[in-house]
Amino acid sequence: MPESTAVVFEPGAGDPRFWRDGAIATTAFMLLVLLLLTVDSLRVLTEGGGGNVPAYTVINQKITYEFDAASNMDKPVIGGEELLFGHRYSEAEAKAIMDKGKLVIQSRSCINCHAFFGNGAYYAPDLTKAWLDPTWEKMWMPMTQAKTREDAMVQFLMHPDRYPTWARQMPNLNLSEEEARAVTAYLKWISSVQTNGFPAGFGRREVAR
């Protein structure tokens, strides 16, 4: 051990109190600001609280994503009735299917390939607006011979290995039909969240290959 470490420190002696007090004051102030902002943010984030996150029963309605010139960003637009699986979900039913959907998403570790709101992994597409993806109608409905977007999604989620298309293939995660429906409902709900314009230009652009 180098000799210089033998310096003995007496408590209190030479303690740079000025800097310590500054650090404590800064931290306390910032924490206070964060707490106030958190109270406001949670109000905006609560489902059906009138903020950015619609109630779970939004799955009974039509959802689109459109550019809003006034705020210069893309925003979800909630339209008239558009039932999911031909069923009108009550508040309790909607809550139950969302709870299930979230647990399926966690149990299959979806976010270690996919992302929600850009958080997760980047091996597979971000699912924030997956419900609104034009590809379901253009490609997957004919391929799965499903009559609706949600049925195509259920077919795909239950048997992704039957449809090896793009540069990546999704493994079969053994989802039951109930689980696949719950995930589909969850994806419909999450597409209705107002996300300050993320992702930008979704569904309005075509990339040349």
Partner 1 sequence: MNQSKKLGVQYLTASIVMMGALLLFGLLASIFYLKYGFLLGKLDFNIVKQVHINALIIACLWGFMGAIYWFLPDELGIETVGIGLARLLFWVFVAAVAVVVVVFIFVQYGSSDESGMWLVNQGRKYVEAPRWAAVGIVAVFLTLAYNIFASVAKARKVTGIMGVLMTTMIPLIAVYLIAFPAPTNMSVDLYWWWWLVHMWVEATWELMIGCILALALMKLLGTSRKVVEIWLYLEVALVLGTGILGLGHHYFWIGTPQYWLSIGGIFSALEPLPLLGMVVHAIYDAGKHQMKTHNKPAFLWLIAEAFGNFIGAGIWGFMMTLPQINLYSHGTQWTVSHGHFAFYGAYITGIIAVAYMVAQESRGIREVQGNAWKWAFAGLNIGMVGMVGALLVSGMSEAFIGRALGGSTLDGFMASQSNSWFMQGMIARTGFGVIIVASYFILAWDLLTLGRRSEKLSPALATT
Among 82, 125, 143, 159, binds partner 1 (CB under 8 A): 125
Helix/strand/coil (H/E/C) assignment for every residue in the chain: CCHHHHCCCCCCCCCCHHHHHHHHHHHHHHHHHHHHHHHHHHHHHCCCCCCCCCCHHHHHEEEEEEEECCCCEEEEEEEEECCECCECCCHHHHHHHHHHHHHHHHHCCHHHCCEECCEECCCCCECCCHHHCCHHHHHHHHHHCCCCHHHHHHHHHHCHHHCCCCCCCCCCCCCCHHHHHHHHHHHHHHCCCCCCCCCCCCCCCCCCC
Scan residues 7-36 and list those touching partner 1 (CB under 8 A).
7, 9, 11, 14-16, 19-20, 22-23, 26-27, 30-31, 33-34
**Member of 36, 87, 169, 177 binding partner 1 (CB under 8 A):** 169
Min dist. Cβ of residue 44 to partner 1 (A): 5
Single-letter amino acid code for the residue at 81: E
Residue 78 interacts with partner 1 (CB under 8 A): yes or no: no
Residue 50 binds to partner 1 (criterion: CB under 8 A) = no
Report d(CA 183, CA 101) in Å as an integer. 4
Shortest spacing between CB 79 and partner 1, in angstroms: 20
Residue from 87, 122, 142, 177 in contact with partner 1 (CB under 8 A): 122
Counting contacts by CB under 8 A, is residue 193 touching partner 1? yes
Closer residue to partner 1 (CB): 29 or 87: 29
- Find the binder of partner 1 among 59, 130, 153, 158 (CB under 8 A): 130
Contact status: 4 vs partner 1 (CB under 8 A): yes
Question: Which residue in the set 61, 64, 75, 108 belongs to the binding site for partner 1 (CB under 8 A)?
Answer: 108
Per-residue binding string, partner 1, 80-99, x by CB under 8 A, is ---------------x--xx
Residue 152 is a binding residue for partner 1 (CB under 8 A)? no
Regarding 69 and contact with partner 1 (CB under 8 A), the answer is: no
Residue 159 within binding range of partner 1, rule CB under 8 A: no
List residues bridging with 68 in a β-sheet.
73
Token code pair at residue 56: 């779970």
Distance CA 88, CA 9 (A): 72
